[in-house]
Structure 1
Amino acid sequence: MRRVVQLLLVVALLAGVLSTGSALAGPPEDPRSEHQRIVDFWTPNRVQQAVPRDFVLDEASGRLLPAAKGGNKPGGGGDKGDKGGGKGGGKGGDSSTVAGAPWDAGGEVLATTGKVLFELGGSYYVCSASIVDDAAASVSIVLTAAHCVYDNVGGGQFATNWVFIPAYDDTKPDLTTSGSFCDQTTYGCWTADALVLHDGFASAGGFNGSAIVHDFAFAVVGAGGKANVLPEDALGSHAIAFSSVSKNTPLYAFGYPQAASFNRDLTYCAGGAGFDSRLGKATYQLGCSMTGGASGGPWYGTFDESAGSGIATSVNSYRYSGGDAMYGPKFNSTTSA
């Protein structure tokens, strides 16, 4: 896997500036062999061991909770047993404010949103991610949070064995069985040829203000899944906007919280955009009870409920202890800088 700590490669792919050959410089000598190795790595037993890599800030001080310090280990309140704020009212397709409910309206978002599994520092983690549009013919782009691909403490470390499982809600594999985890999923798994993030996150030295506003990342993936095709060809993709939204703009956030109370469902929150006043309104705020595992799930600033399609404008990034809100970075001109 080629690991790149800047956004030029992905931005060029999104805009169609680079040729396919330039964009894919430096993949494994045998991409299919590496893909299969990662797919085989994720046995049901290893998947069961994966824990959320989420970040929870102290509500009073705004600092990362002590449990989350040191190698960016997951913060408090995000483990498998955390029931969070429960499932808020509303169901898929209801345009009223929703603080966390299963998305049961179907559509493209059900197929394009999935779970991410990866290894970092000898531990197994789970996040969420989604497929976004790109202009390259031979690769796809998967959007997630930067902390779901990179640990920026102690010199920095990229995630390994990074795999994307779209449409997870369709499958809900039986993790107690043996054999291949990916074979149990509806469409299979896709692995990353490159992981790309902003230097503002990579060089921040922890989950601080600089990291938070740059907590987005992209995985460049090739053909995979059970049909050996690009994920966007099999399942679709969403547009991505590099412009900020104004206060009270309707936002939809999606993800796969790991807590048992969410039943492994694709979960969503909906409401008007707010801002994190603690950070000088540098990030978005949305009323939301989703907990660990939802990190990296997409936010849509323009969303068609009937089609389940929208324009990506942020990702699930962090929460505050004791609060029922999710926060995400703004996609704007610096996202593509």
Structure 2
Amino acid sequence: MRLQPPRLLATTLAVTLALAGALLGSTGRAAAAPPSPDARSEHQRIVDFWTPDRIAQAVPRDFVRDPATGRFSLQPNRAPGSTTTSTGVLGAVWTSGGLVQTTTGKVFFAMGTSYYVCSGSVVKDADTSTSVVLTAGHCAWDNSTATDPAQHWAKNWMFIPDYADKPATLTADGSFCASTAYGCWTAQALTVDQAFTQQTSYNTTATLNDFAFATVGPGGLGGTSQLDTKVGAQAISFSSPVPSGTRVDLFGYPAAKKYNGSQLIYSEGPLGTDPNNGNLTYRVASSMTGGSSGGPWFAPFSAGVGTLMSLNSYGYAGQSYMQGPMFTNKTQSLYTDAQGATANHIVP
């Protein structure tokens, strides 16, 4: 947690301009200063950390709720459920390209001795030296009761946009990032919500605050490209609740059966709420599995361009639904604070 009034004033002005630009469809950005040697070194260290062997060991960090008990458990290999009613697309390969193709990507990170995979989306922002990636809170922070608070944070956090365009070949001597379409970007800061971090397990309160933002510096194939300049970015809205029945499009890189983690998958259907969670989180019929956590939800959405309003958060055993948090002023506070951030932090 930090108290920096000058920066808060600056970032408040920045987010106001960013949101105005998003509504107008503008992405005007001044040229960014080159990354410092230390930033380049840390970026390269994380890129080098993700050897093909570690990439192959990464599993989905997928939380599944038992509808009978209401309890959550980590189930990296959960298969799609069968209980659902849907008037849309449960889960299909996205083949229409567009901005959503380039701005949605895979996320790799380490927690303790385990390696995990999630999804994320590039968000429009006003800072010229960094870019912002939206993902799930549980893809940035571990709620388990570690004795050392520093162990809660995800380590070696890396984002690969448009992974489906050129999935990496995991050869023993190959470079993972160099074999992808755009390369990799690494987090210099993760921003999470205090209410999420105060939970000692993934529970109902955690689901309401299961969002996070990663601040990434220059990266990509040459190590010097700004992420949002290279692949674009999507607008974001913090107005909630979005009316039930609204058509919503969900995206992600599910890696558990029946999916393989190398294809961009989407679901489309009417928005509802989770009756088992006090109707405080959204739900949409979807067969996406683990690995899709943190993937973007859009409403409205057309021709690959949309407005972010939630993300893939948790599922239910035996059911084909995806649940997601409602974006509120708390989410906006995280988004504001993440712009230009240089260290992990928790927002009250």
Q: TM-score range by the shorter chain?
A: 0.7 to 0.9
1:214 partnered with 2:209 = yes
Q: What is the aligned partner in structure 2 of residue 203 from structure 1? A: 198
Matches within 5 A, 1:1-40: 12=12, 14-15=15-16, 30-40=38-48
**RMSD over equivalenced CA pairs, Å:** 2.4
Q: Distance in 1 between matches of 2:119 and 2:10?
A: 19
2:183 to 164, 170, 188: 188
Deviation at 1:174, TM superposition (A): 1.0
Measure the CA separation in 2 of the matches of 1:286 and 1:9: 37
Query: Unpaired runs of 5+ in structure 1?
Result: 18-26, 69-74, 91-95
What is the rounded CA distance, in whole Å, between the counterparts of 1:56 and 1:28 in structure 2? 41
Aligned to 1:280: 278
Q: Is the 8 A contact 1:140 1:222 kept in 2?
A: yes
Q: Work out which of the residue numbers 282, 286, 289 in structure 1 matches 2:287.
A: 289
The answer on whether the counterparts of 2:80 and 2:257 sit within 8 Å (CA) in structure 1 is: no
Which amino acid counterpart does residue 249 of structure 1 have in structure 2? T
User: TM-score w.r.t. structure 2 length?
Assistant: 0.82
Work out which of the residue numbers 58, 65, 73 in structure 2 matches 1:57. 65
- What are the residue-to-residue correspondences of 1:81-160 with 2, within 5 Å? 82-85=78-81, 97-155=88-146, 156=149, 157-160=152-155
Aligned mates of 1:152, 1:225 — CA distance in 2:
31
> Percent same amino acid at aligned positions?
48
CA distance in 2, matches of 1:56, 1:289: 13
Look up the match of 1:232.
Answer: 228
Q: What do the CA deviations read for 1:17-50 (whole angstroms, capped 9, x no partner)? A: 9xxxxxxxxx997000000000011111110000
Q: Secondary structure at the match of 2:55?
A: helix
Any idea what the Cα deviations from partners look like across 1:303-328, whole Å, max 9, x if unmatched? 01x2x010000010000111000000
Which consecutive aligned stretches of 4+ in structure 1 deviate over 3 angstroms post-superposition?
8-17
1:266-277 alignment runs, 5 A limit: 266-277=264-275
Matched pairs, number: 303
- Deviation of 1:279 after TM superposition, in Å, equals 1.5
8 Å CA contact 1:4, 1:197 repeated in 2: no
Task: Provide the residue aligned with 1:24 in structure 2.
Answer: none
Tell me which amino acid in the other structure corresponds to 1:314.
S
Find the aligned partners of 1:29 and 1:212 in 2 and give their Cα distance: 38
Q: Deviations over 1:57-99 (max 9, x none)?
A: 10112111xxx3xxxxxx23x32xx54259x9x9xxxxx7100
User: Does the Cα contact within 8 Å between 2:184 and 2:219 map onto a contact in 1?
Assistant: yes
Question: What displacement does 1:175 show?
Answer: 1.3
> Aligned partners of 1:282 and 1:55: how far apart in 2?
17
* 1:258 pairs with 2:258: no
**Equivalents in 2 of 1:205, 1:158: separation in Å?**
13
Q: Deviations over 1:140-168 (max 9, x none)?
A: 10000000011122154101100000000
Tell me, in whole angstroms, the C-alpha distance in 2 between the residues paired with 1:236 and 1:193: 20
Structure 2 residue 160 is matched with structure 1 residue 162: no
Cα pair distance change 1:220/1:9, threshold 3 Å: farther
1:326 matched to 2:322? The reply is yes
Which is worse superposed, 205-214 or 173-182?
A: 173-182
Equivalent residue of 2:158, what SS? strand
Distance 1:218 1:141 in 2: 6
Using the TM superposition, give the Cα deviation of residue 10 of structure 1 relative to its aligned residue in structure 2, in angstroms: 11
Shift of the 9–291 alpha-carbon distance from structure 1 to 2, 3 Å rule, reads farther
What are the ranges of 5 or more consecutive residues in structure 2 without an aligned counterpart? 19-34, 334-348
Distance 1:191 1:15, change over 3 A: farther
Are the counterparts in 1 of residues 244 and 272 from structure 2 also a CA contact under 8 Å?
Answer: yes
Partner Cα distance (1:196, 1:16) in 2: 20
Give 1:23's aligned residue: none
Q: Does the 8 Å contact 1:133/1:239 carry over to 2?
A: yes
TM-score of the pair, normalised by structure 1: 0.84
Tell me which amino acid in the other structure corresponds to 1:310: G
The alpha-carbon deviation at position 333 of structure 1 amounts to 2.2
Q: Displacement, 1:139? A: 0.8
